[in-house]
Chain A
Amino acid sequence: MSATETAGRFTARYPEEGTDPIPVERYTSEDYFEREKTAVFRRKWLNVGHVLQAPKPGDYFVQQLQVANTGVLIIHGKDGVIRAFHNMCSHRAAPVAWDDHGHCRGFLTCRFHGWVYDTKGKLVHVSDAENFPSVDAAENGLTPIWCSVWNGFIFINLAKEPEETLEEYLAPVAEHINRYDFSGYVPAFSYRIDENVNWKTLQEAQLEGWHLPYLHEKTLARAVKVEGRQYRHAGIELHGLHGVLGSPPPDSFTPPPTAALASRFGTGTVQAFGSKADQGDEGYQFRGSFDFWHLFPNFFVGLLDGLFFTFNIWPVAVDRSIWEIKGYYPPVSTAGQLFAQEYSKVGLRDPMMEDCFTHELMAAQLKSGAKSVIHFQDEEMLARHLVNGVDLCVRGLA
């Protein structure tokens, strides 16, 4: 089909998303950002990582959540249960875990004055207890945060009582994503980028592939099909507040020499990008050569044949965000496999470096007031869906 024939298909399928321009204020207003914190980040389920970041009982990691003015301690209990707490001692609010990850033998001790907590968050030792006659240990455990695990992904909810369970929250996408076999992968890479950009602007570049032939002309463009110069997604689907993009494989793909070398020795990008994988009727149904799921409000899971990767985008301020990128590959035991993984990783990294550069240029200019709106086209439906979803939350409608 030509680019003309495929124009307008998603707008026709999802008329409720509208076609209006989007007010710039939503990316620049401190007031709007404050409302997002309350209406989105303190209500919705948020991914904070993967169980592979705390694989054994006693393992823990800390996720800083500036958007909620807290640090979240995620700890693998001695009983095998993953729990989340505010990383804050009940004595005088010092952190109980001072490193961003680690292992304990069953207890965490505050470095400040030595109060001790077990892996269930229970306060088990008050130093100089006789001098704290009014402190009841049973009532002074770590402050818990709702926590639930899905396909190995750890989610928290900062509400006092979540409006829905994680299962209910992910119900619109679970039947699709659950078909993907997440077993057998291990953490292969992790990047962290601190950017001067609104969290939605940062995500929007990942919510459409239409920019690939333009911005990524020298890096990614060869791995996708373009008609004329227009990129047409293999599919875009909206599922509740969430959604998915399918990336169109090119009609033909001639791997460059280093890609061919990498594919001789291990899992690389050639098989991932070159064709649409068939996992059988029971398996995951790929929309494109790779599928990029957005789980509202700030989590992405990219599913490929032989690897998956995730993005977490954390607002810090209206104009500052942290982008965490994590890749999961089959375990590497040889130099050849490591080389293939390195090539694949670098090939994903450099286009994202191009994205980051662009984010900051846009964010700096949006503040100028020169434009009051921005525009999204049909192929940018998932970006529109994000800002619409956030706005529904802010207006109390979702």
Chain B
Amino acid sequence: MSSPLPDGFADLEPWIDWAQPTEYLRNRKRWSATMEQSQTFYDIMQQRCADALSYLDQFPLTALDEQQTRLLHLCLALAEVSVTVEMYGEPQPKYVFPIDRFVPVHDNWPLGSAGPAMESKR
């Protein structure tokens, strides 16, 4: 089986389950993680996210392959988990609306697009 991540980023494989393709799923992952898991993932991504983005920035966003896309999703998961670590200090803050009711409509938009696909019909 080939590596799930691009060459040079094998050290991030233990955290591959954080690589979720939509904001909805990334938020669910953030809320389901323990504080310890969140902190560990946050710490490793603080070390590696800049390298990952510098690597990915060599390619157009819309031309990333499967492995590169997974690496991108790990970076986006840092944006999500940063709220746990930098703001709330807990993975399941009280007094917050759930993502199930705060619907990210843009999760259906194509990556790197400007809005939804206006597919031709009729």
> Please, how many angstroms separate the alpha-carbon atoms of A184 and B57 in the complex?
21
CB-CB < 8 A to A186: which residues of B?
114-115
Contact A59 B102 (CB under 8 A): no
Contact with B along A288-332 (1 / 0, CB 8 A): 000000000000000000000000000000000000000000011
Is A102 an interface residue, CB under 8 A from the partner? yes
Q: A190-B106, A331-B114, A333-B112 are in contact. Are A256 and B121 (CB under 8 A)?
A: no
Contact B96 A189 (CB under 8 A): no
CB-CB < 8 A to A335: which residues of B?
52-53, 56-57, 59, 61, 64, 72, 75
Contact A103 B119 (CB under 8 A): yes
CB-CB < 8 A to B56: which residues of A?
334-336
Contact A52 B72 (CB under 8 A): no
Is B105 an interface residue, CB under 8 A from the partner? yes
Q: Which of A66-74, A147-155, A342-350, A371-379 is the contact stretch? A: A342-350
Is A392 an interface residue, CB under 8 A from the partner? no
> Please, how many angstroms separate the alpha-carbon atoms of A247 and B49 in the complex?
31
When the two chains form the complex, which single residue of B72, B97, B116 contacts A193, counting CB atoms closer than 8 Å?
B97
CB-CB < 8 A to B60: which residues of A?
333-334
Chain B interface size, under 10 / 10 to 19 / 20 to 34 / 35 or more: 35 or more
When the two chains form the complex, which single residue of A52, A257, A339 contacts B76, counting CB atoms closer than 8 Å?
A339
Contact B104 A104 (CB under 8 A): no
CB-CB < 8 A to B15: which residues of A?
none
Q: A218-B88, A265-B53, A336-B57 are in contact. Are A258 and B95 (CB under 8 A)?
A: no
Contact with B along A173-213 (1 / 0, CB 8 A): 00000000000001111111111000000000000000000
Contact B86 A257 (CB under 8 A): yes
Q: A334-B56, A335-B64, A339-B49 are in contact. Are A192 and B103 (CB under 8 A)?
A: yes
Closest to B62 in A: A333
Contact B79 A258 (CB under 8 A): yes
When the two chains form the complex, which single residue of A102, A219, A332, A353 contacts B102, counting CB atoms closer than 8 Å?
A353
Contact with B along A108-130 (1 / 0, CB 8 A): 11000000000000000000000
Contact B87 A339 (CB under 8 A): no
Is A41 an interface residue, CB under 8 A from the partner? no
A217 CB to nearest chain B CB (Å)? 10
CB-CB < 8 A to A357: which residues of B?
95-97
B95 CB to nearest chain A CB (Å)? 5
Closest to B71 in A: A335
Contact A187 B115 (CB under 8 A): yes
Closest to A111 in B: B122
Q: A99-B121, A102-B121, A265-B53 are in contact. Are A53 and B115 (CB under 8 A)?
A: yes
Contact A353 B97 (CB under 8 A): yes
When the two chains form the complex, which single residue of B54, B59, B102, B122 contacts A356, counting CB atoms closer than 8 Å?
B102
15 residue pairs of the A-B complex, CB under 8 angstroms, read A52-B114, A59-B118, A101-B116, A102-B121, A109-B122, A193-B103, A194-B101, A219-B88, A258-B82, A333-B112, A335-B56, A338-B111, A346-B83, A350-B87, A356-B97
Chain A contacts to B: CB under 8 angstroms: 52-56, 59, 99, 101-105, 107-109, 186-195, 218-219, 256-258, 261-262, 264-265, 331-339, 342-343, 345-347, 349-350, 352-354, 356-358
Q: Which 8 A-B pairs have the closest CB atoms?
A: A186-B114, A335-B56, A187-B115, A258-B82, A356-B97, A343-B79, A190-B105, A353-B97
